Amino acid sequence: MDQTDSISEMILRSKRLVVFTGAGISTESGVADFRSPGGIWERFDPNELNYQSFLASEEGREKYWQFSRVLWTEIAKAQPNAGHHAIAELHRLGKLECLITQNIDSLHQKSGVPEEKIIELHGTLKWVNCLECGQRYPREQIQARLDSGTKVPRCDSCQGIMKPATVAFGQPMPEEETRQAEAAAAACDLFLSVGSSLVVYPAAQMPLIAKDNGARLVIINLTPTPHDHYADIVIQEKTGPALSRIAKKVKALLS
């Protein structure tokens, strides 16, 4: 039996499926993994882009916004691929309890997964927050300022420091999203990890929380992960084709 047949049957039997996604699902949409050849770390030094440097000086903020401007330009044009659409299909079939993602590109929302079913562990690029008064701005609005020559945008309401609503190196993880993800992982009966190298913590802890609480664990990733030996099934291939086959089989089983 094809492993995707087994996964499809597991999804069919599942009452609480949690899907967890990492950068590997978005690379098939042309969003380069930061660390991969051609990734953004070849153009920017991550050591200069940590949260402490951002808070410490105008120069640090200017470097961060240069990086974010380039990142947004690349991500804004990306479209969901077959993997994103397959997860959206699982939602439409009534089989998706929750989607936890490490990605900041909003491609899951674009594919049709409702916002309320998505937990963004590392934040999102589509918003910019004022760190002082909490005002939130659509990214397109701030990007227009950057494109017109503004180097470090300031809040209209209080002139406070603004930052993309993503988690920078050295910045605390969002408490509410982390709590929600841990609770969802602990309560699920099937945890499907897709396109994540499972090396960035605390996000990489989520599959282990699920497994420790009795869930079955499936890992789909192009390369091996440190958690493969915990998994019930491991598939090493591109996420788009694998997820497409799975969603198609689940739909056939339900019809």
The dihedral through the CA atoms of 231, 21, 120, 39 has a sign that is: positive
Taking the CA of residue 166 as centre, how many other CA atoms within 13 Å lie in the half-sphere pointing to its CB? 22
What DSSP assignment string belongs to 23-65? HHHHGGGT---TTSTTSGGGTS-GGGSSHHHHHH-HHHHHHHH
**Please, what is the end-to-end C-alpha distance for the chain in angstroms?**
21
Residues 6+ apart with CB under 8 A from 92: 112
Type of residue numbered 172: P
Active site residues: 122
Q: Which of 134, 72, 129, 81 is nearest to 105 (CA)?
A: 72
What is the phi-psi region of residue 75: left when phi exceeds 0, alpha when psi lies from -120 to 50, beta otherwise? alpha
**Of the candidates 126, 80, 121, 32, the residue with the CA atom closest to the CA atom of residue 243:** 80
